[in-house]
């Protein structure tokens, strides 16, 4: 999914928008472009997506870079931080999301520092 699909691209949790297959339900499902744009790429699908697991412990995972290149995660519940740490401790889908974030972050244009 390209950033050009938005007139004014928002700040996305993984930096860039992504296509993919939803694995939240019992069977993998390829969401349509509208669903990807309105829900999947933002991270807060609880109460908005019928595939979001009711018993999920987290509502969203966010990533950030600390220092020069240290990627950290924050798991959120009801819009508040619930757990955080280094991405090296993650596995499965969250580790894949952390990797996607890190790659997209490294690709983004850098502002030149002002002296």
Q: pLDDT tens digit string along 57-76?
A: 998 899 999 887 789 999 99
Whether residue 98 contacts residue 71, with contact meaning beta carbons closer than 8 Å, is answered with yes
Which pLDDT does position 115 carry in this prediction?
46
Q: pLDDT tens digit string along 74-97?
A: 999 998 999 999 999 999 989 999
Q: Looking at the 3D structure of the chain, how many domains does it have?
A: 1
Kindly state whether residue 112 falls inside one of the protein's structural domains.
no
How far apart CA 32 and CA 53 sit, in angstroms, is 19
The CA-to-CA distance between both ends of the chain, in Å, stands at 37
Kindly state whether residue 115 falls inside one of the protein's structural domains.
no
Torsion of CA 77, 58, 21, 24, to 10 degrees: -120
Structural domain of residue 48, as residue ranges?
3-107
What is the band of 29 on the pLDDT scale with cuts at 50, 70, 90? very high
Kindly state whether residue 114 falls inside one of the protein's structural domains.
no
Q: What is the pTM of this model?
A: 0.77
Average pLDDT over residues 44-61: 88
Residue the block writes with tokens 């694995």: 23
């Amino acid at each position: 999914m390209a950033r050009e699909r938005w007139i004014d691209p928002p700040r996305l949790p993984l930096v860039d928008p992504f296509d993919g297959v939803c694995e939240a339900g019992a069977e993998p499902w390829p969401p349509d472009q509208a669903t990807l744009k309105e829900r999947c790429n933002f991270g807060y699908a609880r109460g908005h997506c019928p595939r979001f697991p009711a018993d999920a412990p987290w509502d969203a995972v966010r990533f950030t870079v600390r220092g020069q290149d240290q990627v950290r995660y924050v798991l959120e519940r009801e819009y508040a931080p619930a757990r955080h740490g280094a991405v090296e401790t993650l596995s499965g889908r969250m580790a894949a999301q952390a990797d996607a974030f890190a790659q997209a972050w490294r690709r983004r244009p850098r502002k030149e520092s002002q002296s």
